[in-house]
Structure 1
């Protein structure tokens, strides 16, 4: 939606110093309208945010500041370790590919600290993507066997329920004992 005509700058007014009034006459803009506040001039907004021309995210080739990369890597490593602990507790098995990725992430952490922020994120993403692809290929037989077992269990359960329903319809519901 366009602003009202009285405040709309003309196309030839690139600096924004002239304003078209309702009658079509040009009137000068107030002097303070084009000035920046001291906070905005310093590159930050008055409410503590990031001002024009500055970004907290940085550029793709900028290194991450502080503990950003170790926290990113350790968060993913903690998630994978918790997943391994849950799998060990519930299924009494360990997926060796996840242990391998944990080791690769631990070894890759010092390398990632010397890369730009985008490079560290790319390294982490490549490791996680490799884990998914390896598990997709290596555990395909296990997934098929699990699906077969679930299908057989479901079929047996449905056959038992169908037999129970047939008995109930033939004999009628059980009468309460009096």
Structure 2
């Protein structure tokens, strides 16, 4: 096994372990980013998952993701990055929230312009009678958020479950 791929595999195991050990030992989002930045080779990509009960969670989550994207792109310019939101917070990205959540929408537009797709869960939206038409064009309404995350992981993306610390 090539030393680089072995190291890459160990990093993935470490990150997976951090996500499994629970909240008492859970690394902060920034610590996970810093661990990724210590690698010589970039992972294929990183997918940020947001699933919160708090409808205002994007107020802290989107600015944090924007910072992490800047850090990762500075070190790994070609890394694939994506965001999947599939909790109550996703409704802040609806068209009728563009004025009340203008700053969030501006940052999301900037992320998308920088090749960081932002997905929301169509299934979750449908439970509230919402469709893709209720979201602006720069927000991708995927059929199911968990499936989108699984597909990114299958391509080799590292999952970071965003949590407020």
Larger Rg: 1
Q: Which TM bucket (shorter chain)?
A: under 0.3
Normalising by structure 2, we get a TM-score of: 0.25
Higher strand share: 2
Higher helix share: 1
Q: Which structure is richer in relative contact order (CA contacts within 8 A, separation 6 or more)? A: 2
